[in-house]
């Protein structure tokens, strides 16, 4: 069984807190008029480290494992442990990293911004984000991964 401190270290080195902003779609088959915000926590490792990612998944009792095909020469295929469920992010991932803080300055900053964005989206309670809110999320997202 993995320790919380090991998972923090693994996240510091190989993890990411990411936010994706999807614009409204205006296509024949699918049409949406609103932005969609996705929040993801993941750890990506080489394919030979898949057993470790299975342990991480067991540790959190949530998330999925996905093959991430590598197209660059001289690179191995990778697997990604990912949590994108808003419920699991809110009830599992955020509380874990608040209780066991990250050490890397960059990951700490990304987590702080991730939490701010997540909070803004979650507090809308089913209502769509307005342009000012989308711009604020874009601004915060722009400060991530530096």
Domains of the chain: 4-142 (3.10.28.10)
Length of the chain: 146
- Which of 44, 41, 34, 35 lies closest to 19 in space, CA to CA? 41
The H or E element that residue 97 is part of is helix 94-99
Backbone φ and ψ of 9, nearest 5° = -65, -40
**Tens digits of pLDDT across the chain (146 residues):** 899 999 999 999 999 999 999 887 665 555 556 788 999 999 999 999 999 999 999 999 999 999 988 777 777 789 999 999 999 999 999 999 999 999 999 999 999 999 999 999 988 766 788 889 999 999 999 999 98
CA distance 88 to 41: 10
pLDDT recorded at residue 144: 97
The two structure tokens encoding residue 122: 């979650």
pLDDT of residue 71: 78
pTM assigned to the model: 0.89
Integer angstrom CA distances of residue 104 from 3, 22, 27, 123, 129: 18, 29, 42, 28, 31
């Amino acid at each position: 069984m993995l320790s919380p401190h090991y998972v923090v270290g693994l996240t510091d080195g190989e993890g990411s807190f990411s936010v994706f902003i999807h614009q409204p779609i205006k296509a024949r088959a699918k049409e949406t008029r609103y932005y969609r915000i996705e929040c993801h926590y993941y750890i990506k490792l080489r394919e030979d480290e898949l057993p470790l990612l299975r342990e991480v998944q067991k540790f959190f009792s949530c998330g999925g494992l996905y093959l991430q095909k590598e197209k660059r020469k001289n690179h191995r295929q990778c697997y990604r442990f990912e949590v994108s469920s808003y419920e699991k992010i809110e009830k599992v991932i955020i509380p874990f990293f608040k209780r066991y803080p990250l050490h890397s300055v960059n990951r700490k900053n990304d987590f702080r911004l991730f939490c701010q964005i997540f909070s803004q989206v979650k507090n809308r309670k089913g209502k769509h984000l307005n342009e000012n809110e989308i711009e604020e999320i874009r601004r915060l997202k722009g400060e991530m991964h530096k």
